[in-house]
Amino acid sequence: MNKKTLIEWDKKYIWHPFTQMNQWLTEEPVIFTEGRDCFLKDIDGKWYLDGVSSLWVNIHGHRRAEIDEAVKAQIDKLAHSTLLGACNEPSIVLAQNLAEMLIERLPWGEPLTKIFYSDNGSTAVEIALKIAYQYWVNQGIKEKDTFVSLKEGYHGDTIGAVSVGGIKLFHEIYKPLLSKSIQAPAPYCYRCELKLNFPSCGLACLGEMEKIIRQNHERIVAVIVEPIVQCAGGIIVWPQGYLKGLRKLCNKYEILLIADEVATGFGRTGRMFACEHEEVTPDIICLSKGITNGYMPLAVTAVNEKIFNAFLGEIEERKTFYHGHSYTGNPLACAAAIASLEIFKKDRTLENLPPKIELLKNKLSEIAELSHVGDVRQKGMIAGIELVMDKKTKEPFAWKEQTGWKVVRLARKYGVWLRPLGDVIVIMPPLVISEENLARLLEVIKDCIIRISSD
């Protein structure tokens, strides 16, 4: 198919996500045709270094032979079968692998041994919210109907997930449709809502969270957070101790803690799961994105035995969890995920990260000195560079200027693929990226920020 026809069809038929289509229709889109290692090739033959892992999903690089072969082998056996009243081998094996991994990696509380499948991060969160609510109802506790989440939080785009979201640009318009939730201040140190500084603040934002929980705990179902890094909110990296303190609050007031690790899971923060950094085991964890290395849609909501047991009973008791999806536990997706987890072991992916994390840290320290860089934030292989009009006052650029997008578009001319969050330049490459390519990625970003800032 020729490029001209594809562009015409794209603009005629596709409504792109998170995109002002009025603007899209006036521009020439990039059409990707091939991927290899940490690179993507467009229809014109130009290669781009994938600086955001194709929206945070790629871990081991594009076209990994092991995953290719696993999917091919599975498709020769069975492409799909339902989990409603039946099983398939890949979903069983993957569940065992994940449960064992969660037991090993998160040993500080009730083990997360029960795996519920879905097909994306939003559905993983929806399932977590419904399970948490029904957990209390099944025990005869019906007054709990409210969730607590964080400002600048993001948990997906379905209605339940939006109800616990905290990004006004994305979520405000749907407010009349949403269920009950209370939002606490985000531990966003650079733009602290309480006008304090860490560590002298003594985690005052956690104190605000405790006030909310103390005043409302009898009606709170659960607290849901993106542990350690609030990615879509602008790569907000939490101060040390917040997650640990939150776990203690949930224990104290006997409410559930849901960890949305859709973006942070599978090595992004330098550990397999972000919760490991503060030795916290949540009651429910949501996983997706990197689980299949971007090959197939798949998500997991894992819970502990205590929660699972609350759903056991006779049919007439109506304790069953009436939820499911057509593609739940799809064999092809599960086969890809099994292969991806094997690569973590074979390649010693996590063990090889420290030099890359240190390189990223050093390059970011250089970028932090630029006149229009207000803050740089990093956890493991996740980083954000917040651009500002005034470094001293932290005044942001005018929204209509689209400064972040200007930087990204310029970077694409130099063969680096990025996507910003407003004026935060997001860095989240595949974990397999070489130090040479990581250095190049950061140098291009630095150069583009300088060029755009000087215009």
Q: What's the average model confidence in pLDDT over 12-31?
A: 96
Which of 266, 269, 321, 261 is closest to 286 using CA atoms?
A: 261
Residue-level pLDDT at 159:
97
Question: What are the E-state strand segments in 51-174?
Answer: 112-118, 146-150
Residue 325 annotated as lining a ligand binding site: yes
Q: Which contiguous run of DSSP H or E holds residue 32?
A: strand 32-36
Distance between CA 173 and CA 171 in Å, rounded? 6
Q: Which contiguous run of DSSP H or E holds residue 360?
A: helix 354-367
Residue-level pLDDT at 167:
97
Q: What's the average model confidence in pLDDT over 318-330?
A: 97
Residue 233 annotated as lining a ligand binding site: no
Residue 267 annotated as lining a ligand binding site: no
- List, in order, residues 6 or more apart from 281 with CB less than 8 Å away: 106, 107, 108, 109, 110, 111, 112, 247, 275
The tokens for 359 are 């390189």
Residue 191 annotated as lining a ligand binding site: no
Which residue type sits at 331? P
Residue-level pLDDT at 169:
94
Residue-level pLDDT at 123:
98
Q: What is the pLDDT of residues 171-206, one digit of tens each?
A: 999 999 999 999 999 999 999 999 999 999 999 999
Helix (H, G, I), strand (E, B) or coil at 284: strand
Residue-level pLDDT at 385:
99
Share of the chain above pLDDT 70, in %: 100
Q: What is the pLDDT of residues 258-278, one digit of tens each?
A: 999 999 999 999 999 999 999
DSSP of 419-430, one letter per residue?
A: --BTTEEEE---
Judged against a pLDDT cut of 80, whether residue 411 lies above it is answered with: yes
The tokens for 98 are 């994940």
The tokens for 265 are 């899971």
DSSP of 193-254, one letter per residue?
A: TT---TTTT-SHHHHHHHHHHHHHGGGEEEEEE-SSEETTTT-EEPPTTHHHHHHHHHHHTT
Residue 319 annotated as lining a ligand binding site: no
Residue 109 annotated as lining a ligand binding site: no
Residue-level pLDDT at 1:
86
Distance between CA 158 and CA 160 in Å, rounded? 6
Q: Pairing between strand 220-225 and 256-260?
A: parallel
Question: What are the E-state strand segments in 307-431?
Answer: 373-379, 382-387, 416-417, 424-427
Spell out the domains of the chain, with CATH numbers in brackets.
31-59+350-454 (3.90.1150.10), 72-347 (3.40.640.10)
Backbone φ and ψ of 237, nearest 5°: -95, 125
Which of 375, 381, 380, 382 is closest to 424 using CA atoms?
A: 375
Q: What is the pLDDT of residues 35-93, one digit of tens each?
A: 999 999 999 999 999 999 999 999 999 999 999 999 999 999 999 999 999 999 999 99
Residue 105 annotated as lining a ligand binding site: no
Distance between CA 150 and CA 166 in Å, rounded? 6
Start-end of H helices in 318-353:
331-347
Distance between CA 407 and CA 420 in Å, rounded? 9
pTM of the model: 0.97
Distance between CA 334 and CA 296 in Å, rounded? 9
The tokens for 161 are 């997930």
